[in-house]
Amino acid sequence: MSLLTLTDLSLQIHKLPILSAVSLRVDAGEIVAITGESGSGKSMTAMAVMGLLPKGAVASGSIRLGDRELLQTSEADMCTIRGNDIGMVFQEPMTALNPVQTIGQQVAETILIHERTSRAEAAARAAETLARVGLPADRFPLSRYPHELSGGQRQRVVIAMAIALRPRLLIADEPTTALDVTTQAQILTLLRDLTRDMGMGLLMITHDLAVVADMADRIVVMRSGEVVEEGQTQALLTGMQHPYTKMLFAASSHEVALPALPTPEPLLQVAGVCRDYRLPRRTIFGKPGSFRAVRDVSFTLHRGERLGLVGESGCGKSTLTRAILGLEQVQQGTITLGQAPVFTGDKPNLEVRRRMQVVFQDPFGSFNPRHRVDRLITEPFHLLPDPPKGRARENAIAEALIAVGLTPEDATKYIHEFSGGQRQRIAIARALIIRPDLILFDEAVSALDVSVRAQILDLLADLCRAYDLSYLFISHDLSVVRTVTDRVLVMQAGQIVEQGPTAAVFSDPQHSYTKTLIAAAPVLPDLDALRRSKTHA
């Protein structure tokens, strides 16, 4: 008998259909991954299993844990199952822990809820569990508070809380999405080891197909609340049937054909840049310390070139981006765009700013919700000494919107009327409208669904062809950088540790950090190669 069996699970919340006839199963010791884009219902399926659905939710069908029908179980009985037979790990480790309790208390609590033991006994077992997940008590005493731990460490604590009582089933909802690439690799390895060691079933929810292909024994693909396809990983990868599944995998490994590079001519020159932040005083009379976020960074971006900048969080890429844009001053070094410095004296050089624009990550936060699209995309006109007015302005707006695949009628709408992908297009329109020489894409596709991301990358390639774009593409996502850049810079702890042509750096990294980074990043297997090897076998 399977560990977990969902049969025809349907869910409505306030009469809105969320899930329809979802069926899947997880066996002991097996890793099953549910994947799909946002709105597919993956998280809701997990919450349904846990019985943690929001108010107004009506579920029908069957969820069996072993031989127990969970949909018929009372709330009081579900409380005895949660944490005990089923453990759950959520997405946001930074906010998943109670900030005013120690990690020891929180892990021990799982034990104390379900078993009659003394506090001392529970604390001892908590320490064991924390050691098991990679937080040994000598370096991470039980008296630590969550704010003293990093994101990856907090996620380990959450995992410890979930497995403290050796549950039969562990559910992980996007457990590594908010983590860095290297940390992600460690957490995924941990989850895999725990599953094998404890004989648990692991139901993992993730949108990252590379992770799925790497880890899962079986894959379940969901869209709009339905299961569109499922099967053993190898079988599914080599012989996927449903067009949506094919589209999803194609989009994940989507490659973009960039136009050829023109003859190199330096455009942006960054030389010996250092940026320091002042730290708060430690003692009343001591000097305030400083933290060097960017150390001695130098590189050149040429006209028509597409340069990538990769690094994990805290490496200094955002600081560097802001310095290049002239939003912050640097303590040492120079940044010039076509020989003109970005900062003159104390003031940012607006002449230079006019030739540089930026597209940000958050399609929802990068626009003032109270303005209409025409006003939003013409904000950079502020930089022009003589901005177009009247007819000329309308034409500029229409042209920008058409260039990004929207229509001129969209100019009178408000931003909330558009989807995430469309908003990013508008953001690109805003960046393009004054025809800058250089565009900075700061994690511009990181918040988008896989299919939408592929479309935006295609748009970028088209724009390169049409407008001779030069851009700096900053991202933590190696697979995206790989396809959309000619050269790449690798940043760690404020320094550029490696730079070179993208293909070369990815296939043959020189620096140890680059090697770690590339090794840690899960990569979608080459599906064609797989299929060929299958037919041969």
Partner 1 sequence: MLRYTLKRFASLLISLAVASLVIFFVIEVAPGDPASFMLGMNAQPETLAALRSELGLDVPKWQRYLDWTGGMLVGDFGTSYTYRTPVAEMVAARLWVSLPLALYALTLSTLIAFPAGIYAAARRGQAGDVTIMAATQLGVAIPNFWFAMMMVLIFAINLRWFSAGGFAGWDNGLWTGLHSLTLPAVSLALPQAAILARVMRSALLDVLGEDFMRTARAKGLTSGQALRRHGLRNALIPVLTIIGLQFSFLLAGSIIIEQVFYLPGLGRLVFQSISARDLIVVESVVMLLVFAVIVVNFAVDLAYAAVDPRLRARS
Partner 2 sequence: MRRNLIIGTALSLLVVIAALVSFVWTPFDHTSLNIPAKLQTPNATHWLGTDHFGRDIFSMIMVGARTSIAVAFVAVGIGMMTGVPLGLWAAARKGTWLDEVIMRGNDLIFAFPSLVIAILITAIFGAGAVNAIIAIGIFNIPVFARITRGAALSLWEREFILAARVAGKSAARISAEHILPNVMNLLIVQGTIQFSLGILAEAALSYVGLGAQPPTPSWGRMLADAQTLVSIAPHMALIPGFAIIVTVLGLNLMGDGLRDYLDPRLRVTRT
Of the candidates 159, 143, 235, the residue with the CA atom closest to the CA atom of residue 193: 159
Apex 441 CA angle, 250 and 278, nearest 5: 135
Kindly indicate which of the ranges 26-34, 219-227, 282-290, 332-340 contains the residues binding partner 1, using the contact rule CB under 8 A: 282-290
Mark the segment that binds partner 1 (CB under 8 A) among 125-133, 142-150, 305-313, 418-426: 142-150
Residue 204 binds partner 1 (CB under 8 A):
no
How many amino acids of this chain bind partner 2 (CB under 8 A)? 22
Q: Which is nearer to partner 2, 204 or 426 (CB)?
A: 426
Q: What is the CB neighbour count within 10 angstroms for residue 70?
A: 22
Distance, in Å, from the CA atom of 214 to the CA atom of 206, rounded to the nearest integer, reads 12
Residue with Cβ nearer partner 2 (331 or 510) = 331
CA torsion through residues 460, 464, 469, 472, sign = positive
**Contact partners, residue 91, CB within 8 Å, separation at least 6:** 173, 174, 175, 177, 178
- Is 90 a binding residue for partner 1 by CB under 8 A? The answer is yes
Closer CB to partner 1, residue 178 or residue 480?
Answer: 178
Stretches 92-100, 154-162, 250-258, 378-386: which one binds partner 2 (CB under 8 A)? 378-386
Residue pair 456/359 in contact (Cβ under 8 Å)? The answer is no
Q: Write the DSSP assignment of 173-233 as a string of letters.
A: ESTTTTS-HHHHHHHHHHHHHHHHHHT-EEEEE-S-HHHHHHH-SEEEEEETTEEEEEEEH
DSSP state for residue 452 in the 8-state scheme: H
Among 1, 100, 120, 537, binds partner 1 (CB under 8 A): 100
Measured from the Cβ of residue 144, the count of other Cβ atoms closer than 10 Å reads 18
Tell me whether residue 279 or residue 340 sits nearer to partner 1 (CB atom): 279
- Tell me which of 68, 196, 382, 532 binds partner 2, using CB under 8 A: 382
Nearest to 195 by CA among 232, 233, 230, 169: 169
**C-alpha to C-alpha distance for 447 and 336, rounded to whole angstroms:** 30
Residue number with CB closer to partner 2 (199 or 365): 365
Identify residues 334-353 at the interface with partner 2 (CB under 8 A).
348, 350, 353
Q: CA-CA distance, 231 to 32, in Å (whole number)? A: 10
Confirm if 245 and 236 have CB atoms less than 8 A apart. Answer: yes
Question: Which of partner 2, partner 1, none interacts with 75 (beta carbon under 5 to 8 A by kind)?
Answer: partner 1
Q: Considering beta carbons, is residue 369 or 501 the nearer one to partner 2?
A: 369
Task: By CB under 8 A, tell whether 512 contacts partner 1.
Answer: no
Q: Is 153 in the site for partner 1 (CB under 8 A)?
A: no
164 vs 324 by CB, closer to partner 2 = 324
Question: What pairing do the DSSP bridges indicate for beta strands 347-348 and 343-344?
Answer: antiparallel
379 is a site residue for partner 2 (CB under 8 A) = yes
Write out the binding residues for partner 2, residues 146-205 only, by CB under 8 A: none
Closest separation between CB of residue 79 and partner 2, Å? 30
Q: What is the identity of the amino acid at 500?
A: G
- Min CB(414)–partner 2 separation in Å: 13
Cα dist from 395 to 204, 340, 382, whole Å: 49, 30, 17
Q: Which segment (155-163, 211-219, 222-230, 373-381) binds partner 1 by CB under 8 A?
A: 155-163
Interface region with partner 1, contact rule CB under 8 A, candidates 141-149, 243-251, 314-322, 516-524: 141-149
Binding site for partner 2 (CB under 8 A): 325, 327, 348, 350, 353-354, 357-358, 360-362, 365-370, 379-380, 382-383, 430
Binding site for partner 1 (CB under 8 A): 50, 52, 75-76, 79-84, 87-88, 90, 92, 95-101, 109-110, 113-114, 145, 147-148, 158, 161-162, 280, 282-284
